[in-house]
Amino acid sequence: AQSVSQHNHHVILSEAASLELGCNYSYGGTVNLFWYVQYPGQHLQLLLKYFSGDPLVKGIKGFEAEFIKSKFSFNLRKPSVQWSDTAEYFCAVDTGTASKLTFGTGTRLQVTL
Amino acid sequence: EPEVTQTPSHQVTQMGQEVILRCVPISNHLYFYWYRQILGQKVEFLVSFYNNEISEKSEIFDDQFSVERPDGSNFTLKIRSTKLEDSAMYFCASWAPRDLNEQFFGPGTRLTVL
C-alpha cells in the first residue's frame, strides 16, 4: 500500500520569504501526485498535480512542485509567500484512474506580515 | 463553477445514535468518495462508489458504515451506531474522467459524537 510523508508539520514564514514543503511517497509503481490546500474554514482545493511528462509542474497562485522519481519526492515551492497563503497544505498520491487518494499528514503554513 | 456540497456543516449526536451525512456531487460525475479527518490527523480514505456499488473501501469502513446514492443527485454516508472515535470532519469528493483525475472536494461535515 502507498503512503505519504510530509516532514514539516508547522512552518512559520515572513511575507516574501521562499517556501519549500517536503513530500515523499512510498509506492513501487506509477503514481499520480497532488498538492491540495485548505484555507481556514474552507474545503480542500487542488493546487497542482503531476501525472506524467515535465516533472516540474506549475499550479495556481504561483505554486510549483517538482517530481523527483529517484527520491520519491514531490516538494512544493513558492518563491515569495503572501499572508494569504496561510493554510494547511496536503500532499497526496493515487495509483490510477479514479483510485483513492492517500494523503500526508499536512503542513500548517503560517505567514506573518 | 460547479461544486460539491455537503449537509449539514456540523452534526452533534449522542453515542450509539445513527447519523446520515449528505453530499451532492458535481453533476455528471461518476465516482464518489468519502474521506474523514480526525482532528489533528491526516485525511483518510473511507470508501469509493461507482456505478451504484462500492468499488473500494478501507479498513475503517466497517459494518457500521454504509453508503448510498438514493437518487440521481445525493450521495450519503450512514453511520449506524456512532462511537466517540467517529468524531471527525467528513469530506465527500467526486470525479469524472474529463477532469483528468482531479477529485473535487466538498466543504465537509464536522461530526461530533458525545
Give pLDDT tens digits for A19-36.
Answer: 999 999 998 888 899 999
Q: Say if residue B17's pLDDT is above 90.
A: yes
Share of chain B above pLDDT 90, in %: 76
Contact between chains at A44 and B102 (C-beta distance less than 8 A)? no
Q: Which chain B residue has the Cα nearest residue A9? A: B40
- The C-alpha atoms of residue A52 and residue A48 are separated, in whole angstroms, by 13
Q: Hey, what's the cell of A26?
A: 512510498
Instruction: Tell me which residues of chain A, numbers 40 to 59, contact chain B at a CB-CB cutoff of 8 Å.
Output: 42-46, 49, 51
Q: Say if residue B13's pLDDT is above 70.
A: yes
- The C-alpha atoms of residue A48 and residue A67 are separated, in whole angstroms, by 12
How many of the other CB atoms lie within 10 Å of CB of A43? Answer: 20
Residue A20, pLDDT score? 97
Is A81:A111 a contact under the CB 8 Å cutoff? yes
Averaged over B87-113, what is the pLDDT? 88
Q: How far is B46 from chain A (nearest CA, A)?
A: 9
Q: How far is A113 from chain B (nearest CA, A)?
A: 26
How many of the other CB atoms lie within 10 Å of CB of A5? Answer: 14
A46, A98, A100 member nearest B45 (Cβ): A100
Q: Hey, what's the cell of B3?
A: 461544486
Q: How confident is the model at residue A58 (pLDDT cuts 50, 70, 90)?
A: very high
Give A103's contacts in chain B (Cβ within 8 Å): 35, 42-44
Q: Say if residue A108's pLDDT is above 90.
A: yes
Give pLDDT tens digits for B23-80.
Answer: 999 988 889 999 999 988 889 999 999 989 999 999 999 999 999 998 878 999 999 9
Q: Which amino acid belongs to residue A70?
A: S
Is A66:A75 a contact under the CB 8 Å cutoff? yes
Those residues with Cβ within 8 angstroms of residue A3's Cβ, 6 or more apart along the chain or in another chain: A25, A26, A27, A102
Phi, psi of A40 (to 5 degrees): -50, 125
Q: Say if residue B100's pLDDT is above 90.
A: no
Q: How confident is the model at residue B1 (pLDDT cuts 50, 70, 90)?
A: confident
- The C-alpha atoms of residue B77 and residue B88 are separated, in whole angstroms, by 13
Q: Is B7 exposed, middle or buried (0-12, 13-18, 19+ CB in 10 A)?
A: middle
Contact between chains at A49 and B102 (C-beta distance less than 8 A)? yes
Beta bridge partners of A49: A34
Q: Say if residue B110's pLDDT is above 80.
A: yes
Phi, psi of B42 (to 5 degrees): -85, 165
Segment (H or E) for B104: strand B104-105
Q: How confident is the model at residue B90 (pLDDT cuts 50, 70, 90)?
A: very high
Q: Say if residue B98's pLDDT is above 90.
A: no
Residue B99, pLDDT score? 58
